[in-house]
């Protein structure tokens, strides 16, 4: 039986959690450099860190029933409830089967039209920034993808309610991130009133969303949005629709898990492409297919643009890591994983693994040529996870990123502000610390 190497980043053990929280990506890289593809240490409990694709395959696919999402999910449930991202077991499986049709191709075609309309309006808004001072692209992309998420979820929502939902989600997420990443602060959060404010925010937010759902049920009207699709879902076993709480949990999960990941993917992609005019030129060559914003059929024909998006998700995966807790003893690649251990799998490190990618640190859309994809380890590229719990909205996200990228680059040139170099800071998603400043030309 192989022994998992121990990583000892400091002679003072109590210093390790602070080192990890300060810069997780650097911490992990040092660990993999020192120990190889898999190492273990104790951060409040036993953790196994790995960038070995065999671990990803085993934990997420082959023996996925032995691994649950663990403690961090309990914190997320305070806002997301029992949505697909946080639920487990038979309940999760029923909900997954119930919701899957919402993301079928014919349904996505309807939602895509909403994406196009909002993107068209955004292009006009961004025109006002052309030739002016640098703008925070993170702020712009967050607003755009939030608008798309909320309008595809609730097509009849008012601008006032849309702003309230967006604000409340951001407040509550920040609180949860602190609890997950810095659990030693929990006593202080109780003392300084942060927990009380959080509960108040969640209660207000819950009522707002439930009111939107109730109004839709009571109106008897039907609309082309995800809320309508969820309300019409019928459980094959019980013959019953979802109740208001279930619908609430799913729409909030879709919003929280969807808009921020797409925004961060676009943030890093626009910044990276500002350094690659030759790649931008190829995208623009494909954009002759459309005038301002592509139709779905036109977008499907833009193969190179799709490769660029996929390469962006490789170098900068928004969902940068997954973690699972073993519910029974297990063995992976000859290494023992004891019950209760957390297997922490940074997709960011997997996507930059020197043994899996010829030039792991370079931005090369050719990594996603059909031949390259065919010859690559299936578990070397997992921007949306893998196995039964692979992201249900992955096609929606890819379409959204392609649409926005193609539309933006046909009309604008993005130039990075060299006085404000961005820094990656992984929270729940791979965020830019202090935004990404760019000039719009």
Structure tokens given for 134: 């640098």
Residue 375 falls within a domain, yes or no?
yes
Q: Is the dihedral of CA 282, 369, 362, 137 positive or negative?
A: positive
Q: CATH code at 375?
A: 1.10.630.10
pLDDT tens digits, one per residue of 238-270: 888 889 999 999 988 888 887 889 999 999 999
Strand order in the sheet with 135-136: 135-136, 437-440, 414-416
Assigned domain for 342 exists: yes
pLDDT, greater one: 309 or 183: 309
Render pLDDT for 111-126 as a digit per residue (tens, 0 to 9). Answer: 899 999 999 999 999 9
- Domain holding 305, by residue range, is 13-423
Q: Say what percent of the chain tops pLDDT 70.
A: 97
Q: How does the average pLDDT of the chain come out, rounded?
A: 90
**Residue 357 has what pLDDT?**
97
Above 70 in pLDDT, residue 3?
A: yes
| Residue 339 tokens, joined | 């019950």
Kindly report the pTM of this predicted structure: 0.92
Burial of 108 (0-12, 13-18, 19+ CB in 10 A): middle
pLDDT at 332: 97
Confirm if 157 and 151 have CB atoms less than 8 A apart: yes
- The answer as to whether 305 is a domain residue is yes
Residue 8 lies inside a defined structural domain of this protein: no
pLDDT at res. 193: 72
Band of residue 180 on the pLDDT scale cut at 50, 70, 90: low
Pairing of strands 46-50, 38-42: antiparallel
**Is 2 within the bounds of a domain?**
no
Which is higher by pLDDT, 99 or 178?
99
- Give the tens place of pLDDT for each residue, 331-340: 999 999 999 9
Q: What is the rounded average pLDDT of the residues 82-109?
A: 88
The C-alpha torsion from 374 through 375 and 378 to 380, rounded to 10°, is -130
Q: What pLDDT sits at residue 181?
A: 63
339 within some domain: yes
- Structural domain count of the chain: 1
In a domain, 69, yes or no: yes
């Amino acid at each position: 039986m192989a022994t998992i190497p121990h990583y000892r980043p400091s002679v003072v053990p109590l210093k390790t959690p602070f080192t990890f929280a300060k810069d997780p990506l650097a911490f992990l890289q040092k660990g993999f450099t020192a120990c190889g593809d898999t190492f273990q240490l104790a951060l409040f409990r036993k953790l196994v860190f790995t960038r070995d694709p065999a671990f990803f395959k085993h934990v997420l696919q082959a023996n996925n029933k032995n691994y649950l999402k663990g403690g961090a999910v309990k914190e997320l449930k305070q806002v997301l409830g029992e949505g697909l991202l946080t639920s487990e077991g038979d309940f999760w499986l029923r909900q997954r089967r119930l919701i899957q049709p919402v993301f079928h191709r014919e349904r996505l075609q309807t939602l895509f039209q909403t994406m196009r309309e909002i993107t068209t309006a955004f292009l006009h808004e961004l025109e006002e920034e052309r030739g002016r001072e640098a703008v925070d692209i993170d702020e712009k992309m967050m607003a755009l993808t939030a608008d798309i998420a909320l309008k595809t979820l609730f097509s009849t929502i008012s601008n006032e309610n849309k702003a309230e939902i967006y604000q409340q989600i951001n407040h509550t997420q920040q609180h949860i991130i602190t609890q997950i990443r810095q659990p030693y602060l929990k006593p202080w959060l109780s003392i300084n009133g942060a927990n009380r404010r959080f509960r108040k925010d969640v209660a207000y937010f819950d009522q707002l969303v439930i009111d939107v759902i109730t109004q839709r049920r009571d109106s008897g009207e039907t609309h082309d949005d995800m809320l309508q699709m969820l309300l019409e879902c019928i459980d094959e076993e019980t013959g019953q629709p979802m109740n208001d709480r279930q619908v609430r949990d799913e729409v909030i999960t879709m919003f929280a898990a969807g808009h921020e990941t797409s925004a961060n993917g676009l943030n890093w992609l626009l910044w990276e492409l500002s350094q690659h005019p030759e790649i931008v030129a190829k995208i623009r060559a494909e954009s002759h297919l459309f005038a301002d914003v592509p139709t779905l059929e036109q977008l499907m024909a833009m193969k190179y643009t799709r490769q660029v998006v996929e390469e962006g998700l490789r170098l900068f995966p928004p969902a940068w890591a997954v973690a699972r807790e073993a519910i029974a003893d297990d063995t992976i690649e000859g290494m023992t994983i004891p019950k209760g251990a957390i297997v922490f799998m940074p997709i960011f490190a997997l996507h930059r693994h020197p043994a899996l990618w010829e030039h792991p640190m370079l931005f090369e859309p050719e990594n996603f040529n059909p031949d390259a994809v065919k010859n690559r380890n299936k578990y070397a590229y997992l921007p949306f996870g893998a196995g039964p719990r692979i992201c249900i909205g992955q096609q929606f996200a890819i379409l959204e990123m392609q649409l926005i990228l193609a539309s933006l680059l046909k009309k604008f040139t993005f130039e990075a502000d060299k006085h404000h170099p961005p820094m990656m800071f992984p929270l729940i998603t791979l965020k830019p610390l202090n935004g990404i400043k760019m000039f719009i030309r």
